[in-house]
Amino acid sequence: MIALENVTLLKPGVMTRDPILLEATEVFRMGERVGILATPGSGKSSIARLLAGIEHPDRGTIRREARVSWPIGFAGFLHPELGVAENLSLFARLVGVAPRTVIDFCDDFCSIPNLSRKTMKDLPPTQRAMLGYACALSVPGPAMWIADEVITIGEPRDRERCDEILAERLEQGGLVFLSRNARQLKAYCDRFLVLINQRLVQCDDLEVAQEALELSAHLSAQEQMRSEHA
């Protein structure tokens, strides 16, 4: 479970800081699959990191029960100068899973011949992304899973595999999926929120939410033009 109480998140800065999220109070429970619709540039990734405990709120409190994943699919922690096995072993020790478990899982998931004997430089970008994705899902046990735009990865066959493993993981966990894509949110989630004017608003109809977001973006663009003109 992740419980937000009056949470405000501001953009980084020394003096003036624009808000990303204002006074949000929300609970994401295990067993739930919550989709958050947000426009590009509205601070989706910052909110995903906030939920994952990587960023801290500027005001308010966040309570977490059970493990919370980092945004799945993130592969930045895999060092390009290290071998795949070395990367996976360091990763496993850092998250508290036996290295063998992670290496076997990634070998199995990625289906890349001799994966653990390769260096990161041997892998093309798609395979690197697959490996990052596999790392996130290799951590067993109940968890709240966070997805920031990326929920599956690779070719259609790989995506099916991602869906299969993710469904397995979600049997014991919850999902918070932030995306700009209403269709994708509908495919994975059963409850929806929309990030509009820095507020998280409950929403049953994503089409209406999408239109509201577009209208809001249009109005703020007009307002900006008017103030620049003035």
Beta bridge partners of 19: 10
* 57 backbone dihedrals φ, ψ, rounded to 5°: -70, 150
Neighbours of 5 (CB within 10 A): 14
Is position 228 an interface residue for another protein (rule: CB under 8 A)?
no
Q: Which of 6, 25, 108, 214 binds another protein (CB under 8 A)?
A: 108
Q: Which is nearer to another protein, 37 or 137 (CB)?
A: 137
Q: Is the dihedral of CA 195, 9, 176, 131 positive or negative?
A: positive
- At 106, list the tokens: 């990634």
Distance CA 181, CA 158 (A): 20
Beta bridge partners of 174: 144
Per-residue binder mask for another protein (CB under 8 A), 127-166, x = binder: -------------xx-----------------------x-
Part in contact with another protein (CB under 8 A); list of ranges 35-43, 90-98, 152-160, 200-208: 90-98
Part in contact with another protein (CB under 8 A); list of ranges 22-30, 33-41, 55-63, 147-155: 55-63
* 27 Cβ contact partners less than 8 Å away, ≥ 6 residues apart: 1, 2, 3, 4
Q: Which of 70, 145, 188, 192 binds another protein (CB under 8 A)?
A: 70
Q: Which is nearer to another protein, 23 or 86 (CB)?
A: 86
Is position 12 an interface residue for another protein (rule: CB under 8 A)?
yes
CA nearest 164: which of 109, 93, 104?
109
Q: Which is nearer to another protein, 85 or 185 (CB)?
A: 85
- Give the largest CA-CA distance in the chain: 64
Q: Which of 3, 30, 54, 201 binds another protein (CB under 8 A)?
A: 54
- At 212, list the tokens: 């509201």
Question: Which parts of this chain interact with another protein (CB under 8 A)?
Answer: 10-14, 17, 49, 52-56, 58, 68, 70-71, 74, 76-77, 79, 81-82, 86, 90, 93-98, 100-101, 104-105, 108-109, 140-141, 165, 168
